[in-house]
Amino acid sequence: MSDIGIQTNRHGDPHKTPIQIIEQAFSSFNQESNKKLNDLSSSPFFITVGTDTRLFGGYGEAINFDKIKKDGWVSTQINKVEVVYEENVSALVSVNFSRMNASKIAYSTTLGHYLLIRHDSLWKLKGAFFLGGLSL
């Protein structure tokens, strides 16, 4: 496993909130930037879809944009985001989001929960939980 996510984002903004980190992650996702997603995450990064949990060196390593595009993906839109809890070193953020096709129509809507940890005074994505049916 790589610790690229830990090493490349040491100069981030310590004043960003967990919600701002989530918004930045979705923006990086829409830019198809695996590197930016890795920069926003801590290693190892986990994703749980249904009952399947997998570990990655960073969030960007978990995403296969070619596969998602085959499903019709063009962009992802946040519908609702809220902090479930936030403490000094961890936070849980709930995000309802839709994947959009070329006609700007949502073809899937998912509820995800993102775990963030504070690492070197910066919020980092540590993992994501999805009930199921989400292609990565």
- pLDDT tens track for 57-98: 999 999 999 999 999 999 999 999 999 999 999 999 999 999
Write the CA distances from 3 to 38, 57, 73, 77, 93, integer angstroms.
9, 6, 28, 28, 23
Entry pTM: 0.87
Peptide bond preceding 44: is omega within 30 degrees of 0, i.e. cis? yes
pLDDT at residue 47, as a whole number:
95
pLDDT at residue 132, as a whole number:
73
pLDDT at residue 113, as a whole number:
97
d(CA 27, CA 11) in angstroms, rounded, equals 19
Q: Does the pLDDT value for residue 41 go beyond 60?
A: yes
Domains of the chain, earliest start first: 4-130 (3.10.450.50)
pLDDT at residue 3, as a whole number:
37
Query: Max CA-CA distance within the chain?
Result: 42
3 state DSSP class of 72: coil
- Label residue 107 by pLDDT band (50, 70, 90): very high
CB neighbour burial string for 101-127, b if at least 16 within 10 angstroms, e if fewer:
eeeeeeebebebebbbebbeebbbbbb
d(CA 25, CA 91) in angstroms, rounded, equals 15
- The mean-pLDDT minimum among 21-25, 51-55, 112-116, 131-135 falls in 131-135
pLDDT at residue 134, as a whole number:
72
